[in-house]
Every structure is written in C-alpha cells, then in structure tokens.
Amino acid sequence: DTAVSQTPKYLVTQMGNDKSIKCEQNLGHDTMYWYKQDSKKFLKIMFSYNNKELIINETVPNRFSPKSPDKAHLNLHINSLELGDSAVYFCASSQGSGGNNQPQHFGDGTRLSIL
C-alpha cells in the first residue's frame, strides 16, 4: 500500500547512457514533482505536473525530460548521463494544484550513480 513508489531504488550506469526512473502515486493526488538531492542533502525542485500538465520547469538541462502519461504517474528520462547527474532523485505528490497549503508526499528516492 505504498503511497508514492519509485523504481528503481538504485541505478548504477555508465556515463553517456540513457536511463529512466518511474514514479507512481496511489493517493489520488493531482500534482507530482521531481526533486534532485545532492551529496550535501540539498533538495532542489526540477519539474512539477498538475493533471498531466507541466507547471514547473526549473533550469534543468534538456537531457532531462519528464513524462506524465496520467495524473498518477510521472516518469523521468535522462539522456547522455554525466558524472554530475549522480544524486538521489525524489518523486513527490500533493493534492490540489500545488500552489496551496497541502503537504507533499515523497517516495523513497532513486540513487543514481554514474561511473
């Protein structure tokens, strides 16, 4: 009965490869997010979707492309992986449009390591 689930939990790959991370939420929330947490635990928003529509697109290299097939899923595809992409990527969701007082619910993260 996991609320926000991400796969895979660990991802180890070579520089230059393309990889995807999947996220699903069963909370019935309208808004989903992708965050990147660096080695110093700093958490930065990357993207947000509300009912499959992109509402936040931070300054992120265009090698990162989110896709939301429906409001319960938000996937992240990364092309041409670089060493600096090594981080923990968190998916989150919240009720409403994202601009309200609703808390965010996080998945357990995907630990991406680039060799």
Partner 1 sequence: SQQGEEDPQALSIQEGENATMNCSYKTSINNLQWYRQNSGRGLVHLILIRSNEREKHSGRLRVTLDTSKKSSSLLITASRAADTASYFCATRDYGNNRLAFGKGNQVVVIP
Residue ranges that bind partner 1, judged by CB under 8 A: 4, 40-45, 48, 55-56, 90, 92, 97-99, 101, 103-109
- The smaller minimum CB distance to partner 1, of residues 18 and 108, is found at 108
Question: Which residues lie below 8 Å from residue 23, measured CB to CB, with a gap of 6+?
Answer: 4, 5, 6, 32, 34, 73, 74, 75, 76, 91, 107
- The smaller minimum CB distance to partner 1, of residues 14 and 28, is found at 28
Smallest distance, partner 1 to C-beta of residue 1, A? 15
Q: Is 73 left (phi over 0), alpha (psi -120 to 50) or beta?
A: beta
Smallest distance, partner 1 to C-beta of residue 98, A? 4
Cβ contact 97:31 at 8 Å: yes
Smallest distance, partner 1 to C-beta of residue 33, A? 8
Residue type, 46: M
- The smaller minimum CB distance to partner 1, of residues 74 and 92, is found at 92
Smallest distance, partner 1 to C-beta of residue 87, A? 14
Q: Which two tokens stand for residue 113?
A: 């390591």
- The smaller minimum CB distance to partner 1, of residues 18 and 38, is found at 38
Cβ contact 92:108 at 8 Å: no
